[in-house]
Amino acid sequence: MELKINGTQKTFTDEILTVTQLLEQLNLSVDQVVVELNRDILAPGVLSTTGLNNGDELELIQFVGGG
């Protein structure tokens, strides 16, 4: 599957069906990421049921703690 993530084209050989599966593949915590899929911001509650298609574009914004 080909996905554009934060402006970079990436190819995945493993089957990725949902946004949650993608985040797991990228070692990102669902609780610490805002996901925009094809210019729509997704609510955290729909990440596990939102399917991905070849050619989708995502922006992933990760929260980091600090002071």
pLDDT at 15: 85
Residue pointed to by tokens 């990725």: 16
In three-state secondary structure terms, 2 is strand
Instruction: Copy the structure tokens of residue 28.
Output: 């990102």
pLDDT at 63: 84
Sketch the domain layout of the chain as residue ranges. 2-62
pTM: 0.88
Selection from 21, 23, 1 nearest residue 11 by Cα: 1
Which residue type, as a one-letter code, is found at position 62? Q
pLDDT at 67: 64
Domain 2-62: what homologous superfamily?
A: Beta-grasp domain (3.10.20.30)
pLDDT at 42: 97
The one-digit pLDDT tens for each residue of the chain (67 residues) are 999 999 999 999 888 899 999 999 999 999 999 999 999 999 999 999 999 999 999 999 998 777 6
Instruction: Copy the structure tokens of residue 16.
Output: 């990725």
